[in-house]
Chains A and B, each alone.
Chain A
Amino acid sequence: MQALYAQLLVGLINGSFYALLSLGLAVIFGMLNIINFAHGALYMMGAFCAYFLLNIAGIGYWPALIIAPIVVGIFGMILERTMLQWLSGLDHLYGLLLTFGIALIVQGVFQNYFGSSGLPYAIPDELKGGMNLGFMFLPIYRGWVVVFSLVVCIATWFLIEKTRLGANLRAATENPTLVRAFGINVPRMITLTYGLGVGLAALAGVLSAPINQVRPLMGADLIIVVFAVVVIGGMGSIMGSIITGFALGVIEGLTKYFYPEASNTVVFVLMVLVLLVKPAGLTGRAA
């Protein structure tokens, strides 16, 4: 029984990564209608950015939590301005293919320079060690990741669903012409939103750097699972992706305990089951 509690907690920790990543995807899809396949590569760039900050500029983990998302977010905004904006109004497939291509190029470049084994990034001193919870040894860093991710997820949800800025944004995606008539600069808003989604991916990358090796393929390994999370939660649904992210982390954790061999596929089995019953996802808008 104790082992089960431990697995549930570990699942929750992984779920927080899924939630953060799928949240960014959901924001981008919900607001821009772009299926952002470059998300995994941008997550990886966040981790590498933290690594460079530490090893080149001597800037540690805490400032990196702010700087890396901004740097990668700006890179995302440049991508949006130079490439993605030309696809607005076209079929989703074009955005998917373009971002997939971008992901391959970015990963290829990083792999060419840094190989596949990855680079070390240490846990910050303040968060080293762990505590004995009785049923498991919880590394303090992992506890921090869950709490921090939850705060970021809720803040993002609040920003989009409950503030005036969010209301404008949602209106702009529903009827850009009308919103523009009110004097709001819609293209700039869209660029900033893409930057926000990308920043969330980079933030997850910084959080993951001390746990995983900083590897060029770290995003590629994760992106398919995260897409499954977004599909199950309902494409574009902010709250859906947060809840599904955490839930799938837990389900995957339990599978690792009861039948580890299936832990990489359980998410997709669930996706199929959910889509059979609710084609728009658990909390998605009907197409």
Chain B
Amino acid sequence: MKHRISALFLGTALAFAAGGALAQDKNVKIGVLTDNSGLYSDLGGAGSTLAAQMAIEDSGLAAKGWKIDLISADHQNKPDIGTTVARQWIDVEKVDIFVDVLNSGVALAVNNLVKEKNAIMINTGAATSDLTNAQCSPNTIHWVYDTYMLANSTGQALVKAGGDTWYFLTADYAFGHALERDTAAVVVKSGGKVIGTVRHPLNSSDFSSFLLQAQASKAKIVGMANAGGDTTNTIKQAAEFGIVSGGQKLAGLLLFINDVHSLGLKVAQGLNFTETFYWDLNDGTRAFSKRFSERMKNKAMPSMVQAGVYSGLIHYFKTIDAMGGNPHDGVKVVAKMKEAPTDDPLFGKGTIRADGRKLHPAYLFEVKKPSESKGPWDYYKLVGTTPADQAFRPLSESACPLVKK
């Protein structure tokens, strides 16, 4: 009997100790799921992992007794590989939070899994606005940009400037479809017309056939609903076929600083497009970008995807620090992240909406002429700013079940 009682006491004491340890759990595992080898690897890839590493260092959590692990993997732009890695990360590696996850096809697949397993995804790389619309999830925050915002900003600006007839060159997968759909809606709403569209396979190297079709359509604007290497090759070959000199205008619906760097200003000059981050915006962005570039191969400046990884993780770290420990409960942490306003040197002050949409301003840029650029990576001129509350899809138009109407 005596033994039984002491065993009971011991058991209860152990249970309390374990419970206490749970509340005080200061372990975090971050997974950077990205394209490390394909056509988007310059936008995310190793740069996203570096940004995550810098966020861990800058968070100061290690000094407070936190243990933060970081792993990264290549999803090769294939949704099946992405979900296999993600499943293993959650089940075996005990990953708490996914960042980057560029490529809309991969992001939508991982989005479902993260919800099912109650992990967290801060998506900074994928563009599809479905992540916070029909497929929104209490476990996902869409951080940097989306197709609705790109369409709204660039699309509207170009229609207003007289580009009222459009022809789309669209990457034939979830991202391209979403970008084309959202931009077409804005074009029509602004009084323009979509004359035609051609869908090309992802990672095409030759766009001449598609460009000839766009040229024959006589549309004023050739909208490129593609990204990365597909966009740079389109722009380069459009110049060759005299699309722009023939009077049509190219619209880069999604362009990154790495694309402009790779094209060179001679070819890219004059292009208009939208980003939510540029290294040379203010002192905060410059300071971070300088530190980033020094540690990066080729001394590249951060893309908005990579900047988003840093910014998203900083807010996540602040949240779990305020919670006193990591509850490993995705829904709970994301809800807390939505409650607090965001503030970091890269994206400034912002908020996260009920549908998981992070809000911050969107900037319309124009690529400088070679004569205007003062040096490497000095590429953009700011043309206009859309305030945070107008840049993204209004909640009144949202189909997200998390939004109370």
Binding site for B on A (CB under 8 A): 2-3, 6-7, 10-11, 13-14, 111-120, 122-123, 130, 136-137, 139, 141-142, 211-213, 215, 217-218, 221-222, 253, 256-257, 260-261, 263-264
Binding site for A on B (CB under 8 A): 37-42, 45, 172, 198-201, 203-206, 208-210, 212-213, 215-216, 228-229, 232-233, 236-237, 240-242, 246, 258-259, 261-264, 266-267, 297-298, 300
**Which residue of the partner chain, among B172, B198, B206, contacts A14 with CB atoms under 8 Å?**
B206
Instruction: Give the secondary structure class of B's interface.
Output: helix
- Which of A6, A118, A130 gathers most chain B CB within 10 Å? A118
**Which residue of the partner chain, among A13, A116, A211, A218, contacts B42 with CB atoms under 8 Å?**
A116
- Shortest CB-to-CB span from A91 to chain B, Å, is 29
Interface contact B240-A139, CB-CB below 8 Å: yes
- Shortest CB-to-CB span from B190 to chain A, Å, is 27
User: Are A139 and B42 also in contact (CB < 8 A) when A111-B37, A257-B213 are?
Assistant: no
**Which residue of the partner chain, among A3, A114, A116, A122, contacts B39 with CB atoms under 8 Å?**
A116
Query: Which residues from A are CB-within-8-Å of B203?
Result: 221
Interface contact B229-A118, CB-CB below 8 Å: yes
- Shortest CB-to-CB span from A125 to chain B, Å, is 13
Interface contact A213-B233, CB-CB below 8 Å: yes
Identity of the chain B residue whose Cβ is nearest the Cβ of A259 in the assembled complex: B199
A-B contact count (CB 8 A): 115
Identity of the chain B residue whose Cβ is nearest the Cβ of A115 in the assembled complex: B42
**Which residue of the partner chain, among A116, A123, A211, A260, contacts B200 with CB atoms under 8 Å?**
A260
Cα distance A122–B266 in the bound complex, in angstroms: 9
Query: Which residues from B are CB-within-8-Å of A112?
Result: 297
Identity of the chain B residue whose Cβ is nearest the Cβ of A6 in the assembled complex: B212
**Which residue of the partner chain, among B39, B212, B216, B242, contacts A217 with CB atoms under 8 Å?**
B39
Interface contact A120-B209, CB-CB below 8 Å: no
Interface contact A115-B298, CB-CB below 8 Å: yes
Cα distance A11–B298 in the bound complex, in angstroms: 36
Interface contact B37-A257, CB-CB below 8 Å: no
Cα distance A118–B201 in the bound complex, in angstroms: 19
- Shortest CB-to-CB span from B209 to chain A, Å, is 4
User: Are A117 and B172 also in contact (CB < 8 A) when A130-B241, A261-B201 are?
Assistant: no
Query: Which residues from B are CB-within-8-Å of A261?
Result: 172, 199, 201
Interface contact A116-B38, CB-CB below 8 Å: yes
Cα distance A10–B216 in the bound complex, in angstroms: 14
Q: Give 8 closest A-B pairs by Cβ, nearest first.
A: A117-B262, A256-B209, A120-B264, A264-B201, A116-B41, A115-B42, A117-B42, A139-B240
Other A-B pairs beyond A115-B258, A213-B232, A256-B209, 4, CB < 8 Å: A3-B213, A117-B262, A213-B233, A213-B262
Identity of the chain B residue whose Cβ is nearest the Cβ of A111 in the assembled complex: B37
**Which residue of the partner chain, among B209, B229, B232, B259, contacts A257 with CB atoms under 8 Å?**
B209
- Shortest CB-to-CB span from B170 to chain A, Å, is 9
